[in-house]
Structure 1
Amino acid sequence: MKEFIAEVVSMGRLRHKNVVQLLGYCRRKGELLLVYDHMPNGSLDKYLHGPPGNNRSLDWSRRFHIIKGVAAGLLYLHEDWEQVVIHRDIKASNVLLDGEMNGRLGDFGLARLYDHGTDPQTTHVVGTMGYIAPELARMGKASTLTDVFAFGVFLLEVTCGRRPIEQKEFQECPILLADLVLQQWRDGSLADMVDERLQNDYNFDEACLALKLGLLCSQQLPCTRPCMRQVVQYLDGNAPFPNQMLEEVTSNYRGPEPCVASSPPPSTSFGTISIDLMISGGR
């Protein structure tokens, strides 16, 4: 507990326009509560996945502005602060909107700090189903690249207006949004995945960039994912997107493994999970 409080105090020094300010903490009935700056427009999740008839909507320019803001905030956490901050729970519901509808990355309850140049070693799986990188699920190893994976899923979610995992009625297996986007990209119809609520009123090049970058960030192998500095460069147009690299790293992917399920899996719930792993070293 002392170590966690020390990290909370350290994270209170984070200062970036796309990071929600952590004001402090308090204890209540045995719980440790984090206190953040108030964000009047709530979470991005409400705008993307509100109830039917929800009149809250975001046009494409605002979505792309939010995407770029979250990317800038995550770059700050990974590379531009005094320590490395691994967020470990990047998702739309943890992106909060201020009074001017700027996206700010919030909820640092699972975040961990590391010194630059060190290799973080964890055996604790935390995060939200659908956003958890394969190596994190298998070995509990969190890193900046597991954050990049989650950011890639977030990119697809914002651009498509769909959750990362969907369970349709009468379907045994869940549908992964990344698989749908990848298939449409291979078929040459990537724009078909853009949120239909935009009614074709969006910047085609920006939307396709967001979708392709989402695929690249959410690759299965960590070594094939870009770092957040590269991500920001792609989004800002300061570096050309590596189309050939995306083709190469996705060429051997044959889609999800077939599964048999009699009921919807727990992955259709989007609450944060926490699992301890026992990992033994090789002999």
Structure 2
Amino acid sequence: MYVGFTAATGDKSSAHYVMGWSFSTGRVPAATLNISALPAPPPNRAKKRRFNKEVISLIVSLTTVITIMLVLSFLLIIYRRRLNQEEILEDWELDHPHRFRYKDLSTATDGFNDNRIIGTGGFGTVYKGSITVSSSSSSSPSSDEIAVKKITPNSIQGVREFVAEIESLGRLRHKNLVNLQGWCKHGNDLLLIYDYIPNGSLDSLLYSKPRLCGAVLTWNARFQIAKGIASGLLYLHEEWEKIVIHRDVKPSNVLIDDQMNPRLGDFGLARLYERGSLSHTTVVVGTIGYMAPELTRNGNSSSASDVFAFGVLLLEIVSGRKPTDSGSFFLADWVMEMHSSGQVLRAVDSRLGSGYDEGEARLALVIGLLCCHPKRGSRPAMRMVLRYLNGDEDVPEVEVYSHSSSRYSVPSDLKE
């Protein structure tokens, strides 16, 4: 028989001691141990396991690198958030006046909320906004309503060319033009800030509003609107320091203010020329129904092509009819048929009933026909158009013409 002691340890350091024992090999029982008399166990002098210095260095290094990466990531996130709100000016932008801060425009439009959208088109989305303006004459700031058009061009170069033109157009000041307050470049977005015009577009007053509430635009309002548009185009063609060709005159680009005065806007297609120079554009742009016949032959826009578009618009204001439909109808030809048969007043909008001035209506229709002449050289300049409308000049006889002989096919890439 063998008697002994055994013990075991786990992963951690431990010590086992035999402090007392009682054993008997005979018939006499082993003596009882007095537990209280046993000595105290000695202190544990077992060596604790220590990490290797190389392991400790590796742990410290990794911890330091991870900490630095976390700090850099945090700073990058903060920087990007600030970048979304702050403007970064490029060299070519430093001298531009009337520049708005993006974060101010974002605040004014509730972060460009969809509920703020008041119009959309081929060149961008228009938001209604309210911006705070500080006044030197008043201690308390005031709030102005603005219209913000947000455009996303196809290229940075396109942005620069467009802003270069906006810088010139921003100096245009006329009571019948939408006032461009300023602009803002943010990333690839170009934002144009205009005065907010409360009554919306002429297009809505001619078509949408009567369908919704039955309120038809009165004749007096129509005639004054026609005069105002003519006055604005005269300013662009002859009275400003350069010649401005709008190239997209149509009802949806005419806004009506709270005094029922027209404001010609949306200069996204406009071109500026020095006086005495000729147009060299070859790209056909415009809206179907308002494009002069010569545009599809050579693409050269001119003040005469704007006059043609105004003539179509004038006939549309009087008749309340769109310039074209899905068939072969063209408004100028239809009015010409009425005129040649001596019944031109039949072209007046039937919704007006008898509530219009026959002399003014006949005058407007004849002027519209003059402006829509297929030959550009036979169209009057806007100065003469305005004199005709004001009764300062007698309107010449209109020779009978038809656009059917000069009917043109419109390329598929034209702006609708």
The TM-score with structure 1 as length reference comes to: 0.85
What does the per-residue CA deviation read over 1:177-220, in whole Å, with 9 as the maximum and x for residues that have no partner? 11110000001100000001111210111111111111110111
The one-letter code matched in structure 1 to 2:260 is M
Take 2:166 and 2:236, find their aligned partners in 1: how far apart are those partners? Answer: 14
* Cα pair 2:374 2:403 within 8 Å, conserved: no
Q: Give secondary structure in 1 for the equivalent of 2:284.
A: strand
Show the counterpart of 1:15: 173
> Which residue is 1:81 aligned to?
240
Give matches, 1:1-283, under 5 Å: 1=158, 2-27=160-185, 30-50=188-208, 52-167=211-326, 173-243=327-397, 246-247=398-399, 250=400, 253-254=401-402, 256=404, 273=415
Q: 1:279 maps to which residue?
A: none
Contact 1:34-1:109 at 8 Å conserved across structures: no
Deviation track 1:44-73 (CA, whole Å, cap 9, x = no partner) reads: 000112163443321101100000000000
Residues 12 and 50 (structure 1 numbering): CA distance in 2 closer, same or farther, change over 3 Å? Answer: same
**Residue 159 of structure 1 aligns to a residue in which SS?**
helix
- Secondary structure, aligned partner of 1:33: strand
CA 1:90 to 1:196, structure 2 compared with 1: closer, same or farther past 3 Å?
Answer: same
Unaligned runs of 5+ in 1: 168-172, 260-264, 275-283
The structural deviation recorded for 1:27 is 3.9
Q: Answer yes or no: is the 8 Å Cα contact 1:219–1:225 preserved in 2.
A: yes
Q: Is the Cα contact below 8 Å between 2:247 and 2:301 reproduced in 1?
A: yes
- d(CA) in 1 for partners of 2:202 and 2:402? 32
Deviations 1:86-123 (A, max 9, x none): 00000011110111111111111111111111111101
Judge conservation of contact 1:166–1:177 (CA < 8 Å) in 2.
no
Report the Cα distance in structure 2 between the residues aligned to 1:192 and 1:144, rounded to whole angstroms: 30
The number of equivalent residue pairs is: 256
CA contact (8 A) 2:293 2:406 kept: no
Between the aligned partners of 2:377 and 2:272, the Cα distance in structure 1 is 22
Q: Is the 8 A contact 2:197 2:255 kept in 1?
A: yes
SS of the residue corresponding to residue 286 of structure 2 reads strand
State the 1:139 CA deviation. Answer: 1.3
Q: Displacement of 1:36 after TM fit?
A: 1.3
TM-score by length of 2: 0.58
Q: Could you tell me the percent identity over the aligned residues?
A: 50
SS in 2 for 1:16: coil
Match of 1:222, as an amino acid?
R
Relative distance call for 1:187 and 1:28 in structure 2 (3 A) is farther
* C-alpha deviation, 1:175, in angstroms: 0.8
Give the match's secondary structure for 1:49: helix
Structure 2: tracts of 5 or more residues without a match: 1-157
Cα separation, 2, equivalents of 1:99 and 1:44: 13
Which has the greater radius of gyration? Answer: 2
